[in-house]
């Protein structure tokens, strides 16, 4: 029976371990034990509170381990902002250039359209009479 008790206590968490696992303070967890929200036993040998992990995670959700901060530093962010600002400026220049070209082409198209629509008919050749041709009148 001694082996079973030791195995059970090996699977139990101390107050500090349990508080860290769920992300609350030791005093907050101790208050929860005293209020009866979490079941725990007092270890006679060490005098510590021992909490069953299943009981702990029933009352409190498991706290995920903090991951390494994936967020970039301020310097990296500032560099990205500057690169994006350069890209925006370049795109604005391209847009202005394309707008100017489009306006120039539109003006050219309108000018050519006016030329095509206002072409005068070639003058009709007047028939010249034989006498006019002989005496070079007209």
The model's confidence at residue 5, banded by pLDDT at 50, 70 and 90, is very low
- Residue 124 scores a pLDDT above 50: yes
The model's confidence at residue 3, banded by pLDDT at 50, 70 and 90, is very low
Task: Name the DSSP letter for residue 98.
Answer: H
**Of residues 138 and 42, which shows the higher confidence score?**
42
CATH class of 2-59: mainly alpha
- Give dist(CA 82, CA 89) in Å, integer: 11
pLDDT at 137: 61
Model-wide pTM > 0.95: no
Helices of type H across 23-127: 26-35, 53-59, 74-117
Going from the C-alpha of 94 to that of each of 4, 53, 84, 100, the distances in angstroms are: 77, 63, 15, 10
Element spanning 4, H or E: helix 2-11
φ, ψ at 22 (rounded to 5°): -105, 0
The model's confidence at residue 9, banded by pLDDT at 50, 70 and 90, is low
- Give dist(CA 112, CA 129) in Å, integer: 40
**Of residues 47 and 105, which shows the higher confidence score?**
105
Across 104-109, average pLDDT: 96
Residue that has been written with the tokens 């702990």 in this structure = 56
């Amino acid at each position: 029976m001694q082996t079973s008790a030791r195995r059970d206590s090996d699977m139990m968490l101390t107050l500090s371990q349990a508080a860290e696992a769920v992300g609350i303070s030791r005093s907050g967890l101790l208050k929860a034990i005293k209020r009866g929200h979490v079941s725990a036993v007092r270890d006679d040998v060490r005098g510590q509170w021992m909490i069953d992990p299943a009981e702990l995670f029933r009352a409190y959700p498991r706290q995920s381990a903090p991951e390494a901060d994936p967020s970039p530093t301020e310097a990296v962010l500032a560099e990205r902002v500057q690169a994006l600002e350069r890209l925006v400026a370049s795109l604005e220049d391209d847009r202005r250039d394309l707008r100017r070209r489009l306006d120039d082409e539109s003006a050219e198209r309108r000018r050519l359209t006016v030329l095509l629509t206002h072409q005068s008919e070639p003058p009709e050749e007047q028939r010249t009479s034989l006498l006019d041709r002989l005496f070079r009148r007209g």
